[in-house]
Amino acid sequence: MCLRDPVYDCVSDISLLEPASPAPCRPVCRHVRALQVPVRRHQAWDHRCQLSYDAEALRRRSGSEAGRHGAYDTGLASVMKPSTASGDDIPAIKPLGVGFSWDFGRFEEAEGMLRGVAEDLTQQLKLSFTVKGSNRLSSDKATLIRPLFRASPPTRVTKTARNRSPVIKDQTKWDACLKLFVGGGLTISGDQGVMMALIYHGGIRTNHFFLNQSALFIRTSSALFRTLHASKTRINAQAESTTSTLKEASVQATTKTSLEQKILGYEAIIGIETHVQLLTLTKAFCNCPYLYGSQPNTTVCPVCMGHPGTLPVLNSKVIEFAVKLGLALNCRLSMTSKFDRKQYFYPDLPKGYQISQFDIPIAIKGFIDLDLPVEFGGGHRRFGITRVHMEEDAGKLIHSETGSYSQVDLNRAGVPLLEIVSEPDMRSGLEAAEYAAEIQRLVRYLGISNGNMQEGSLRCDVNISVRPVGQSKFGTKVEIKNMNSFSAMNRAIDYEISRQVLLHSQGQSDQIVQETRLWEEGAQKTFIMRKKEGLADYRYFPEPDLPEVVLTKDYVDKIQQVLPELPEAKRRRYEKLGLIMQDVLFLANDNHVAEFFDASIENGADAKLAANWIMGDIAAFLKNERLSINEIKLTPVELSELIASIKNGTISGKIGKEILFELLSKGGTVKSLIEEKDLVQIVDPAAIEALVDKVIAANPKQLQQYRGGKTKLQGFFAGQVMKESKGKANPLVLNKILTDKLNGGN
C-alpha cells in the first residue's frame, strides 16, 4: 500500500500515522471551552436536517426580485428563516449551508462573481458549459452586480452580550458539572442519553394520526413484546446474540405469523446501513486513544477537536481493517481510493465536515451469506452489499435535563468507522436482524471491532418501504434509527412494516413520507424524529489534506492470506462434520466458542461429543458465572482429553462431569485429576465380581426377594456395588456380572 497525492502525483512520498503506541495527549483542556452549547435541543436537531441548503432553490430565489422582499418559495423556506426584523425591508437571511448571517445581496454577488469567473474560464477554454437550469449571466446582470462589490469595512465587532448560559471555563468545575449531569444517579450512557432526549422530543411532535395507528398495533402484540422485554432486561452485551436468540425463539415465531397475516399482499423492501466502530489503538486521523466510557473530553487533542492549523494523518490500521472487511464481504476493492469531505454544521462535528468517502468507496459489490435460525424454519440467505467505506465518527451531544442547553463530548470524534451499505434485499425484521447479527459475527471474527451494539460500536440504520406484491416501483422509504439490539431491530422493523401496510391497505399510502423514525423500546413502536426535506446537499469534495490510498496486489494478498476462517465457511464445515444445524449455528455464532470447538476437535475430540459438552455443561457454566469461553480455565486440550477418557472407558460419564466442573473452576489436567482422586474406572471383571459377591453376601434378604421374582431389585444391587466401588465400576461390566450372579449363582 502506498499513498499518492492526486494533484502533485508524488507517490509514496507520504507517511502514515504509526498506529503502534497512542501518545499521551498534550493537555489541551484549557483550550476546550466548556464545550457547552446553549441550545434548545429540538432546534439543534431541526438544524441538522436543514443545514444542507437547496442550491437550486437558492439560485431560483436569488434570481427573483420578488424574493428579495419576503415570500420565500418552498425550497428556500426550509433552509432559511428570517431573523429579527432589522428595520430594513430586506430581511436578513441565514443561509445555513454557509453558517453565517448574510443578506441576499451578497448571495447574488457571490454567485455573480463565481459565474463571472466561470464565464472567463469557459470563454478561454473555448468550451461551453452551462450551469444546470440557469441562464448565463447577461451583460446587464454583470453591470448590476458590479456595484455590489463595494467592500464594506471589516466587520468591527463592538460588544457582544455576555453569554447567558453558564459557560464553565474551569476544568474542575467542568468535571463536577459533568458528574452532575451525566454521572450522578442519572444514567445517561452513550448514545442512549441523546437518543432518549430525542425520543422524548419526537414524542411531542408526533402526528396524531400516527399515534392512533401505533396504538392499534401495540394492542395486538403488546403481550408478546412484554414477555420479550422482560427476558431482555439483564442480558449482558457479550452474550446478547448467543443466549437471547433461543429465548426469544417462540416470541419471534409468533410475531412472524401474525406479521405474515398482516402484510398479506404486500412486500417490504429493507436495506441497512451499518456503522462499525473499529478497534484501532488510536483514532483515524490523530494519536488519541479511544476508550468507551472515558470522562468527557479526555481523549481529545487539537487534531480531533478541529483546532486551527491541525491536519489529519491517516491511521494505516483503518485501511487494513477496511480491506479485511471488504474481502470478507466478497467485495471488489478499489485499488485507489480517496477521502472526501462531507460538510454540515453540528456541534459534535468539530471541523464542520466529516472525513468520509463519497464516490470511490474502498469496497463495492459484495455479498454476505447467512443461515436463518432453525426455530424460524431455517434457510440460507445471501444479501448483497452495495459498498463499504471508511469515515470518522462524530462526538456526542449530551442534553441537559432541563433542555436549556446541550454539552458536547468529543471523545468519540475521529474514531474510525466502516459504513456497510446493503442492497435492499431483506424482506422481514428477522432477515434484517440476522443480517446485522452476521455482520457482528464477521467483524468479531475478523477482530476489527467489538461489534457491541449497546456501546454503539455497531449501529444500524434501517430503510424500509412497502409495496403491493407485483408492483415494481418502490414505495416511499422510511428510515429507522435507535435500535440497540437485534431483537429490537426485528421488532422495530416488523412494527414499521405493519404500520406502512396498514396505511397502504386503508388507501392512505400518501401518509407514508420520507422521514426518520426512532424506535422506542419502552413503547415498542417507532416515532417520527424528523422529516427529510429533499436530498441533503453535503457538498462533497475530495479531502485535500489526505493523499489517495493506493493498494498494491501484494498488500491485499497478504491480508487475504491471514484472513481467519469466516462464519459462513465455518458453518459449512461444521455441517460436513455431521452436526445438526442448530449445533452448527450455536458453535459458529461466537468466534471464541468456535475457536474452542475447533481446537478441541483438532486434538482428536469427537465433533458431536465436543459440541454436546460445549453447548451443554460448559455453556451452562458460562452463563452462571457470566464468563466468556476464553476466560475459563478449561483448555480445549483437556476437553478432548476428557472426551477421550470417557470414550476409552478410563472414567465414566458421571465422573467425567465431575472432572469437568473441577477443570472449569480450578483448571488442571484430566490425567492428574484422575490420578489424584483415584477415579480410574474399574473394568477388571474379577475385581468387580469380588465387589458383587461382597454385596450379595451382605444382602441375603434382598437376594431372596429377587429370586422370588422381584427382579426390579437388580437396580438396588447395582447401586450398592457402585457405592462400594466409589462410582468407579464400569456399569456395563458390573451389570453383566451382577445379572449372572443374581440369576446363576446359588
Partner 1 sequence: MPSLIQSPRFLLSHCLSPLPPNARSGFCGRLFHRSSAAAAALSSDAQTISSNQSSSYAPLLAPPSSEILSMRESLLSRRRTAAEIAEEYLDRLRRTEPQIRSFLHVSETVMREAEEVDRLVETGAELGPLAGVLIGVKDNICTVDMPSTGGSRILEGYRPAFDATAVRRLKEAGAIVIGKTNLDEFGMGSTTEGSGFQVTANPWDVSRVPGGSSGGSAAAVSARQCAVSLGSDTGGSVRQPASFCGVVGLKPTYGRISRFGLMSYASSLDVIGCFGSSIIDAAIILNAVAGHDRFDATSSMHEVPDYASCLISIDQFDSKPLKGLRIGMITETMGDGVEMGVVSSIKAAALHLEELGAVLTEVSLPSFSLGLPAYYILASSEASSNLSRYDGVRYGKQVAADELISLYGDSRADGFGPEAKMRILMGTYALSAGYYEAYYKRAQQVRTLVRKSFKDALEKNDILISPAAPSPAFRIGEKVNDPLAMYAGDIMTVNVNLAGVPALVVPCGFVEGGIAGLPVGLQMIGTSFSEEKLLRVGHIFEQTLQNHRFVPPLLG
By CB under 5 A, the residues from 283 to 312 that bind Zn ion are 286, 288, 301, 303-304
Strands (E), 475-617: 478-481, 515-520, 525-531, 541-542, 548-550
Euclidean distance between CA atoms 385 and 418, whole angstroms = 13
**Nearest distance from residue 544's CB to partner 1, in Å?**
4
Q: How far is CA 727 from CA 111, 648, 654, in A?
A: 93, 17, 8
Q: How far is the CB of 575 from partner 1 (least distance, A)?
A: 47
Question: What is the distance, to the nearest Å, from the Cα of residue 66 to the centroid of all Cα atoms in its chain?
Answer: 49
By beta-carbon proximity to partner 1, the closer residue of 81 and 558 is 81
304 interface partner picked from Zn ion, partner 1, none, CB below 5 to 8 A per type:
Zn ion
Q: Residue 304 or residue 663: which is nearer to Zn ion going by CB?
A: 304
Pairwise CA distance, residues 33 & 170, whole Å = 9
- Give the one entry of Zn ion, partner 1, none that residue 102 binds, where binding means its C-beta sits below a cut-off of 5 to 8 angstroms depending on kind: partner 1
Shortest distance, CB of residue 137 to partner 1, whole angstroms? 13
Pick the closer one to partner 1 by CB: 123 or 743. Answer: 123
Residues 262 and 100: their CA atoms lie apart, in Å, by 50
- Closest approach, Cβ 210 to partner 1, in A, equals 26
In the chain, the amino acid numbered 697 is A
Q: Considering the complex, what minimum distance in angstroms separates the CB of residue 180 from partner 1?
A: 21
Residue 121 touches which of partner 1, Zn ion, none (Cβ within 5-8 Å per kind): partner 1
Work out what residue 55 binds among Zn ion, partner 1, none; the CB cut-off runs from 5 to 8 Å by kind.
partner 1
SS3 for 621-644 is: HHHHHCCCHHHCCCCHHHHHHHHH
On whether the CB atoms of residues 397 and 331 are closer than 8 A, the answer is no
Q: Which is nearer to partner 1, 313 or 460 (CB)?
A: 313
267 touches, from Zn ion, partner 1, none (C-beta below 5 to 8 Å by class) = none
Tell me the closest approach of the beta carbon of residue 418 to Zn ion, in angstroms.
Answer: 19
Give dist(CA 424, CA 432) in Å, integer.
10
Binding partner at 552 among partner 1, Zn ion, none, C-beta below 5 to 8 Å by kind: none
Q: Which does 288 bind (CB under 5 to 8 A by kind): Zn ion, partner 1, none?
A: Zn ion
Helix (H) or strand (E) holding 445: helix 429-446
Q: How far is the CB of 154 from partner 1 (least distance, A)?
A: 4
Nearer to partner 1, 536 or 619 (CB): 536
Q: Read off the C-alpha cell for 11.
A: 507517490
Choose between 37 and 664: whose C-beta lies nearer to partner 1: 37
The residues near 214 (Cβ < 8 Å, ≥ 6 apart) are: 495, 499, 523, 525, 526
Q: Which is nearer to partner 1, 515 or 548 (CB)?
A: 548
Beta carbon nearer to partner 1, 16 or 563: 16
What does 106 interact with, of Zn ion, partner 1, none (CB < 5 to 8 A by kind)? partner 1
Closest contact distance (angstroms) between CB of 280 and partner 1 is 17
d(CA 40, CA 386): 37
- Cβ closer to partner 1: 288 or 478? 288
| Shortest Å, Cβ 55 to partner 1 | 3
3-class DSSP assignment, residue 195: helix
Residue 6: how many other CB atoms lie within 10 Å? 13
Comparison of 294 and 404: residue with beta carbon closer to partner 1:
404
Per-residue mark of binding to Zn ion, 20-49 (x: CB under 5 A): ------------------------------
How far apart CA 257 and CA 498 sit, in angstroms, is 12
Shortest spacing between CB 17 and partner 1, in angstroms: 7
Nearer residue to Zn ion within complex by CB, 288 or 453: 288
Q: Could you give the 3-state DSSP secondary structure of residue 608?
A: helix
Tell me the CA distances in angstroms from 704 to 163, 269, 739, one per residue in order: 101, 77, 14
The 3 state secondary structure assigned to 374-411 is HHHCCCEEEEEEEEEEEEECCCEEEECCCCCCEEEECC
Q: How far is the CB of 201 from partner 1 (least distance, A)?
A: 14
**Which C-beta is closer to partner 1: that of 545 or that of 662?**
545
Q: In what order do the strands lie in the sheet with 340-343?
A: 353-356, 340-343, 541-542
CA 300 to chain centre: 23
Q: How far is the CB of 596 from Zn ion (least distance, A)?
A: 37
Q: Which stretch binds Zn ion (CB under 5 A): 4-12, 216-224, 278-286, 614-622?
A: 278-286
Closest CB 168 distance from Zn ion, rounded Å: 22
Pairwise CA distance, residues 393 & 383, whole Å: 26
Other residues' Cβ atoms within 10 Å of the Cβ of residue 231? 15
Q: What is the DSSP string of 1-70?
A: -EEE-TTT--BT----B--SSPPPPPP-GGGS---EE---HHHHHHHHHH-S--HHHHHHHHH-TGGGGS
Q: How far is the CB of 478 from Zn ion (least distance, A)?
A: 36
Question: Residue 10: which of Zn ion, partner 1, none does it interact with, CB under 5 to 8 A by kind?
Answer: partner 1
Distance of alpha carbon 237 from alpha carbon 486, whole angstroms: 11
Report the residue number, 99 or 265, with the smaller CB distance to partner 1: 99
CB distance 98 to 62 below 8 Å: no
CA distance 286 to 19: 9
> In whole angstroms, how close is the CB of 465 to partner 1 at the nearest point?
23
**353 near 569, Cβ under 8 Å?**
no
- Is residue 410 a contact residue for Zn ion (CB under 5 A)? no
Cβ of residue 414: shortest distance to Zn ion, in angstroms? Answer: 6
Question: Residue 26: which of partner 1, Zn ion, none does it interact with, CB under 5 to 8 A by kind?
Answer: partner 1
Q: Which is nearer to Zn ion, 32 or 579 (CB)?
A: 32
Task: Choose from Zn ion, partner 1, none: what does 235 bind? Cβ within 5-8 Å by kind.
Answer: none
Contact letters (x/-) for Zn ion, 233-272, by CB under 5 A?
----------------------------------------
- Our CB check for partner 1 shows the closer of 83 and 630 to be 83
Judged by CB under 5 A, the number of residues near Zn ion is 5
d(CA 480, CA 429): 12
Residue 63: name its binding partner from Zn ion, partner 1, none (Cβ under 5 to 8 Å by kind).
none
Binding mask 318-357 for Zn ion (x = CB under 5 A): ----------------------------------------
Query: To the nearest whole angstrom, how small is the minimum distance from the Cβ of residue 303 to Zn ion?
Result: 5
Nearer to Zn ion by C-beta: 68 or 412? 412
User: Among all chains, which residue has been given the C-alpha cell 462531507?
Assistant: 342
HSE (side-chain half, CA atoms, 13 Å) at 235: 24
Please name the helix (run of DSSP H) or strand (run of DSSP E) that holds residue 355, with its range, or none: strand 353-356
- Assigned C-alpha cell, 205: 411532535
Q: How far is CA 351 from CA 348, 394, 599, in A?
A: 9, 10, 48
Do 461 and 492 touch, CB atoms closer than 8 A?
Answer: no
Closer to partner 1 by Cβ: residue 300 or 421: 300
Report the alpha-carbon distance of residue 701 to residue 716 in Å, rounded: 12
- Residues making contact with Zn ion (CB under 5 A): 286, 288, 301, 303-304
